[in-house]
Structure 1
């Protein structure tokens, strides 16, 4: 007995809907859980002058404590380390516990870290980078060009330049590097963890956007800004490499905050530390 065409069309449509539903369910089941944690990468608990953080002399008498924060993004069973903090050099601002030892608390070894993303090449963001030589380094092209150059940039002597480059040796020597030239970089390929191009502080400076299921979007500043007062007034540090780019990056960052209703975490401001759970807990 033949099936009427109208019934056949209905059956076909039902099968297509069922298949599409199954595909969506499978995709949802396969979607990686994303979580974010803060790691301690040093501190300057005694207030210090931040006068040089404004090239318009906005804060001549302001003193603030500063913190140095690194972050771990867990994407399913893969990991991104965002910034690598101060070196364990015994200085006042050096962390008391290494990144390697902090990660060991949750059973993560250096070889388990897939990516190390650096906001920029300054020493307080790269001090322990060489502890993760097997990871892929993800860095803005402008900053990588500085680190690969044979001569130090203007204003830096050869000794300081050699010290700045030292944490990058595993990658200068041939380790895996992804250099970023586009507007944003999708670290894991699903739109959940994005490095955002925010030049000005350095030529290849980036921030990080992490989209969490429960907490929502989180924006990590890198050094697009350093403390609440400067963020409020679009303050530009005297040592930034490009003032116009710095202001454009601040404008973009604030619009991302507004459009995504994002939680902004200023990495150097201790007032933002409590925006994430105390490690080893993660925000999800």
Structure 2
């Protein structure tokens, strides 16, 4: 059970679909073991606008992640080369997040902080499109290793212009007394409405965000802790049901036992997939994803991974708010949609069963 401090203080959350599409990426990069038919990863790109209003009516806004900058080929050459080296893969941003905000009548000068979940090309965006008044917040070690950015630091995956003329705050969890769900936490606004959690493993200084959407409901921005929901579901506390309604999947309803037989673990209560080789620290990645599974088991926490395209069939995005996700049953409606990716594997299992 995940214990979160009680509070009546909340933030408003908008899930922003940046329009970026990515795909053709070998699934083995992000997930293990391999599932027949699930050979490539296809994703989108979510970032989050968090708005906080205090007792005096003052509004503060922060962004969690910035997605991919539309001119990403102007990133550090080694980042561009590495991204393009994945045969068959594509990364197609449409616009910068600042353009989406201003089209939605959110003044970019009202953003007090830009939070990087981690310093990968599809998350850092282009901070230079925001005024220098916006602080850049990064996880442990990121500023130490990458500042002041490329080209002064040739091996940095981020640019000098990302850091230039703005405060860069590197979070330090070494003395925080707060832990939520097994992850060290910092209370951003100081009133238990929004937390930044230390979630290492995928990349240096990886962070996740936990936003209180009502006094007793939350959205967890998981960034790249997992790339596919099959890496966090099912679990012992949230096993496969006997029958699963998954639109556009045959058969429907889908027998849970069929999914269990397809699961490499041959289980109805163990995740279908594990983290892939992309993790910078596999032991840390396994610890973090296990903690995140605990959050997913909670009925009052809705998880949104940065690239989870299965959610797009259900969730409402910016400029709409996501705070009423529980009333709209987003968690129940999206929980097993990821199984659509495994139609071929399910067909193989169904055929073997019928012949057995």
Alpha-carbon displacement from aligned partner over 1:148-167 (angstroms, at most 9, x marks no partner): 27899xxxx94xx45x221x
**Gap runs ≥5 in structure 2:** 1-6, 54-58, 74-89, 174-183, 234-270, 324-356
TM-score by length of structure 2 reads 0.61
Shifted more, 200-209 versus 63-72: the winner is 63-72
Q: 1:46 to 1:225 in 2, by over 3 A?
A: closer
For the residue of structure 1 that corresponds to 2:274, the secondary structure is coil
Retained in 1: the 8 A contact 2:10–2:193? no
Q: Whose helix proportion is higher, 1 or 2?
A: 1
Cross-structure match for 1:165 = 158
Q: Give the 5 Å matches for 1:78-117.
A: 78-89=60-71, 93-117=91-115
Q: Give the 5 Å matches for 1:179-198.
A: 179-182=170-173, 183-198=184-199
Larger Rg: 1
- CA-based RMSD of the aligned residues comes to 2.9
Q: CA deviation at 1:40?
A: 2.5
Q: CA deviation at 1:32?
A: 6.0
Alpha-carbon displacement from aligned partner over 1:82-102 (angstroms, at most 9, x marks no partner): 101111127763332331221
Higher RCO by CA contacts (8 Å cutoff, separation 6 or greater): 2
Tell me how far apart the structure 2 counterparts of residues 59 and 148 of structure 1 sit (CA, whole Å): 40
Tell me how far apart the structure 1 counterparts of residues 150 and 22 of structure 2 sit (CA, whole Å): 35
**Gap runs ≥5 in structure 1:** 1-27
Alpha-carbon displacement from aligned partner over 1:104-163 (angstroms, at most 9, x marks no partner): 1332222110111111000100022222232111111222223127899xxxx94xx45x
Cross-structure match for 2:129 = 131
TM-score by length of structure 1 reads 0.76
Alignment match of 1:51 (pick from 22, 28, 35):
28
Alpha-carbon displacement from aligned partner over 1:17-67 (angstroms, at most 9, x marks no partner): xxxxxxxxxxx9xx765211122234336554312213x443475134211
Tell me how far apart the structure 1 counterparts of residues 294 and 10 of structure 2 sit (CA, whole Å): 26
Tell me how far apart the structure 1 counterparts of residues 61 and 315 of structure 2 sit (CA, whole Å): 17
